[in-house]
Every structure is written in C-alpha cells, then in structure tokens.
Structure 1
Amino acid sequence: MRPGTKFQPVLDDPYVAVKAETERVVCLTGKLYHDLIKYRQNIGDSVHNRVAFIRIEELSPFPFTALKDTLERYPNAKEFTWIQEEPRNQGGYTHVLPRMTAVLREIGKDGDVTYVGRVEDAVPAPGISKLYKAQQESVLQGAFDG
C-alpha cells in the first residue's frame, strides 16, 4: 500500500459516472473484478452506467455499514447480484448471501440477490482449458445478462 492510504473493506465502482442510471449492482471479491472491467470495456460504453461492480474486500468480519453506505449510492438499482469464479458450493456466496440480503432489506430493497457463477462442483476448476474458458466467458457475460 502507498503511504497515506488505508485498507477499504468495500470498494465502489470508479467507472460508473452516473450512479442514478445503474440498474444492476454486482458484488464480488477477488481478481474476477479485473476480468469484468476488461469485458465491460470490450462490450462498449453503453453498459458503463447500467452495471456497477462493488468489491467486497473483507468477508469477515462482514462490512455491513460500508456495504450499506456504498449500495445507497445506487438509488434506482433494482437487481443485485453476487458473482464468483468458483462453483456455487465454494467461494464466498453462501457466506455473503444472508449478509448482503440483510443490508438490502435495511436500505429498503426487497429483491433477491441473484447468483452468477459456476454450478456446484466437487472441484474448483474443470481442468480442461477449453471448458474453463467457456465457463469463464459464461460467468463474465452473466454479470451483464443476468
């Protein structure tokens, strides 16, 4: 870390200029964020304000207040998603879901938190390059398509 900086448990999307135009907020953790930013750049500028990526950098203790403060910046968002590279039964999804749902209820958003990622599996990755790339593409596209 650079001098004068400090750890932030939740990082807002710096590329969303008009937060009131955001329809979907996608929460995530880890390096997937960088893949999503590249994917969004390849899609084009039309999605920059429509989909926001919120990075939850600290899962325990869960940053309830920081997430609440960040989500409140998106008053017109109607869809809230958790995305992860890992299969559904691995990664942060099962830990984050009830906590994220509680934060959404607190700010008056009653919709469900949808999941985007790989299906349940006994292994963290398929081990076959072609299959991994196809699954990864599906995960990235799911952030924008639902």
Structure 2
Amino acid sequence: PQMSDDNPFVIPEMDPTLRKQIQECNWQVVNVTTPANYFHVLRRQIHRDFRKPLIVTAPKNLLRHKECKSNLSEFDDVEGHPGFDKQGTRFKRLIKDRNDHKEVEEGINRLVLCSGKVYYELDDERKKSERSDVAICRVEQLSPFPYDLIQRELKRYPNAEIVWCQEEPMNMGAYSYISPRLYSAMKTLGRGTFEDIKYVGRAPSAATATGFLTVHVQEQSELVKKALQPELIKFP
C-alpha cells in the first residue's frame, strides 16, 4: 500500500462508477475475506474496458477457515435470487457489520475497522464477550481507499470510537496507509483529529513475526481483546 500513488489528504471525486478514482491510481490492493468477494474482484478485473494492476493479499489460511464461506446466490447475478440487489452481486470494497444495523445506530460505542482474516477472530471474540455495542467493518479494498463507504459507516455510528485493528506490527501492514486517509474521511465529517484513530496491533518491529508460536498466540489473543475493550487501548 505504501507504493500507491494517491494523495492521502485529498478525497477524490467518487463518481458512481468509481472509474475516475481507480484510473488515477497506479494499482489496486485488496484483502478479501469471502469466496464471493474473491470471485467478484477477479471478474471485475476481467470485465473492465481498461487495465490496472490488481494486488490480492488474501492469505491461504482462509481457504480452510470454517467461517470463510459464501452462499451460491452471492456469486449469481440473476434477479430474484437471495443474493441479488438493485445493483446485482458485485465486489464489495467494504463489508459492513454482519448485524442488521439501521442507517443510524447511536447505541454503538466502538467501530472497529480491519482488513483480512483478523476479522474472524474479532467477530468470534465479540460473540464470546457479548459486546452488542461494537460494530466491525471489513475494508476489502485498501487501495484506492473507499472514502465513500468509510464515510457511510462513520455516519451510521455517530457516537462510536474509531479503531483500526491489524495483526501486523505498526510499521507494517496497512496502518500507515490507512490512517491518513481515514483521518481525511473523518475530518470532512467533523469526526475528530488524527489522535482519535485508535490503533490496535503489534508494536513496531524489525521482524515480521516473533518466531515463537506461544508468544504469537498470546499476542494475537491480547490484540483481539484489546480491540473490543475501550479501557485497554492506549494511543498509539
């Protein structure tokens, strides 16, 4: 994502087709979390009448994850099927919270934004802890950044604290790319400053992983719990 050439402090024109935003970027980076979204991002790439490189960072871990599944209707584009809406089945740049929230949910105190397989651990922990005041949204397309959909979710949860959660160390993963763009989206809506974006993930590190399974599991458990519990978060 750090090699993407879009300006993080300028929200581009978000026309209905999104062609302009994608054409002005050097490439696309996605981290998909469902089979249907994987299918649709590849189909979108083939059916376009222009070409932009597509980087897919989805890990092989999701190939065997029991919760990583899609209904057949989510692949179909036939009107009348359960997965069909007015725009048909398509690639989702952002997947909203799995709960059936209204257009405005004032009772949600925390909006956790994440990307990739950490979502499933966050959702599992939310079920175990019965946190009905937490919403979890998946950013499936990292670059170009889905400003319009992020702002839609910010409006949906007007009282929510904003959290970015990732598994990687702070100096890796998507945080350094996401944070200034998320700030730009928040600033336009009057939702606070850069410091209002709470980071949950591993501390900065020169290594991509600890190298010890027990330490890795402990770190993973702690960051998932921290993402859902306000009292555990300290910035950065």
Q: Choose which of 91, 98, 106 in structure 1 pairs with 2:188.
A: 106
Measured against aligned partners, the alpha-carbon deviations of 1:8-63 in whole angstroms (never above 9, x if no partner) come to 1111112264622111111110010001111111112xx12x11111111111111
CA distance in 1 between counterparts of 2:189 and 2:135 reads: 17
CA distance in 1 between counterparts of 2:228 and 2:96 reads: 17
Aligned to 2:135: 52
- Using the TM superposition, name which of 117-126 and 82-91 deviates more: 117-126
Distance 1:16 1:143, change over 3 A: farther
Runs of 5+ in structure 2 lacking a partner?
Answer: 1-35, 37-74, 78-88
Q: TM-score of the superposition, structure 1-length normalised? A: 0.91
Q: TM-score of the superposition, structure 2-length normalised? A: 0.58
- Retained in 2: the 8 A contact 1:80–1:113? yes
Aligned to 1:67: 150
Structure 1 SS opposite 2:106: helix
Distance 1:17 1:67, change over 3 A: closer
Runs of 5+ in structure 1 lacking a partner?
Answer: none
CA distance in 1 between counterparts of 2:183 and 2:214 reads: 35
CA distance in 1 between counterparts of 2:100 and 2:200 reads: 21
CA distance in 2 between counterparts of 1:130 and 1:89 reads: 22
Q: Choose which of 174, 177, 184 in structure 2 pairs with 1:95.
A: 177
User: For residue 141 of structure 1, what is the amino acid of its counterpart?
Assistant: K
The RMSD of aligned alpha carbons is 1.4
Report the count of equivalent residues.
Answer: 142
Once the 2 structures are TM-superposed, how far is the Cα of residue 102 of structure 1 from its aligned partner? 0.8
- Using the TM superposition, name which of 29-38 and 123-132 deviates more: 123-132
Higher relative contact order (Cα pairs below 8 Å, separated by 6+ residues) = 1
Aligned to 2:61: none
- Retained in 2: the 8 A contact 1:16–1:52? no
Q: Choose which of 181, 202, 206 in structure 2 pairs with 1:122.
A: 206
Aligned to 2:92: 8
Measured against aligned partners, the alpha-carbon deviations of 1:41-86 in whole angstroms (never above 9, x if no partner) come to 1112xx12x1111111111111111111122111222x11111000
